[in-house]
Amino acid sequence: MTHPDNPQDPGNPQDPPHSRSLQHPASAPDPATTAPPSGTTDGPGARDTSRRTGSGFGRVLVLVYGIFAISATARASVQLLRDWHEAPVAYGLSALAAVVYVVATIALARGSATSRTVAWTAVGVELVGVLAVGAWSLLDPATFPEPTVWSGFGVGYGFVPLVLPVVGLTWLWRTRPPQNSTSRPKDTA
Amino acid sequence: MVLPLVLLAVALCAALTGWAGWFVARDRAVVLKQLWGGAVIEGVILLQMIVAGVLAATGSSAGDPVKLWGYLITALFILPVAAVWAFAERTRWSSVVLAVAAITVAFLEWRLWQIWTA
């Protein structure tokens, strides 16, 4: 997995060593990387403008994407290499899902301008994919004799695959660079 | 032999999740002690791998070996990767990362049990 500490990002210096385990209100000069001092909930909506996509709440998001990338890749590998003939369409879509998760994980973890564009595209494809495959699997169950990540809108994974792209797109929007603050980002793809 | 090991791993994951959750509530980042807790879970997974290997060697293993080992190897890698990822973040979100990772390993253990007894 890409290491998160990107020294090229000028707006987000490394966390100072004094914040190892507790946030000290008196010594928190960096509002971009330091949690609010008074226990304020810093959820996805709080002061995230121009923050890196892979830190703060984004770190949890990247972890969940990473877990889905690993598990979808593992599942798709077994399905394609061993059981390809059983359900080619379903297993092909499994592989597509795996690729999308891998790309989204790397792009969200990197968080550069290019990665942001890639992340918009990957998470967008993910949302379309889970909706399309979810609907398809319900209308035509014969094509999906074995479950995939996206069949039944991700019911086998507690509907996390359905919620994840919505959270991902929201997070990308919340952390968008400030120069795009009044208009839609041109790289929405 | 297999069921106690799965239950032990799930119980340890639940404990680690609770510990990390307590840190989230306290607005604290992950500390090294918690990673030692994760290392104990890793030890249990390694023990499961040894048991699975012995069972396979003696011909008494059940379930789909490819899936079984896929889940075992995936479970083994989740916590170390999450630990590195969490430790780079010095906010409460690192504790959330550890909690999510521990929940994931518990879920994988449950699936492992399903495959093992299939």
Longest dimension (CA), chain A: 63
Q: For residue B94, give the H/E element and its range.
A: helix B92-116
Indicate the SS3 state at residue A87.
coil
| Among the ranges given (A33-42, A173-182, B3-12), the one the predictor scored with the smallest mean pLDDT | A33-42
Interface TM-score (ipTM) > 0.90: yes
Q: What is the pLDDT of residues A51-75, one digit of tens each?
A: 789 999 999 999 999 999 999 999 8
Q: Which chain A residues have a beta carbon less than 8 Å from that of B90?
A: 15, 19-21
pLDDT(A6) > 90:
no
Contact A62, A105 (CB under 8 A): yes
CB–CB contact B100 A63 (8 Å): yes
CB contact under 8 A, B90 and A19: yes
Distance from CA of A115 to the nearest CA of B (A): 19
Q: φ, ψ for residue A9 (rounded to 5)?
A: -85, 105
Express as a percent the part of chain B with pLDDT over 70.
98
Residue position matching structure tokens 């290499």:
A81
Domain boundaries, position B31: 2-116
pLDDT of residue A50: 52
B103 touches chain A (CB under 8 A): no
Q: Could you tell me what percent of chain B has a pLDDT over 90?
A: 84
| Residue A13 to residues A31, A45, B52, B58, B110, Cα–Cα distance (Å) | 11, 21, 46, 56, 41
Candidates A4, A57, A64; nearest CB to B88: A4
| pLDDT for res B1 | 59
- Give tens-digit pLDDT for A87-97: 888 899 999 99
Residue A36 pLDDT level (bands cut at 50, 70, 90): very low
- pLDDT for res A150: 94
Interface size A-B, in CB pairs within 8 Å, comes to 74
Q: Where are the alpha helices (DSSP H) in A111-155?
A: 113-139
How many Cα atoms sit within 13 Å of A88 on the Cβ side? 1
Least confident of A24-38, A164-178, B32-46, B104-118: A24-38
Coil, helix or strand at residue A3:
coil
Number of domains in chain B: 1
One-letter amino acid for residue B50 of the chain: I
Taking Cα atoms as reference points, which of A59, A170, A16 lies closest to residue B93? Answer: A59
Looking at residue A21, its amino acid is: S
Chain A interface includes B101 (CB < 8 A): yes
| pLDDT tier for residue A86 given thresholds of 50, 70 and 90 | confident
Which chain A residues have any C-beta within 8 angstroms of a chain B C-beta?
1, 3-5, 15, 19-23, 33-35, 39, 42, 55-57, 59-60, 62-64, 66-67, 70-71, 74-75, 78, 82
Is pLDDT at A84 greater than 90 in this prediction? no
Q: What is the mean pLDDT of residues B55-84?
A: 90
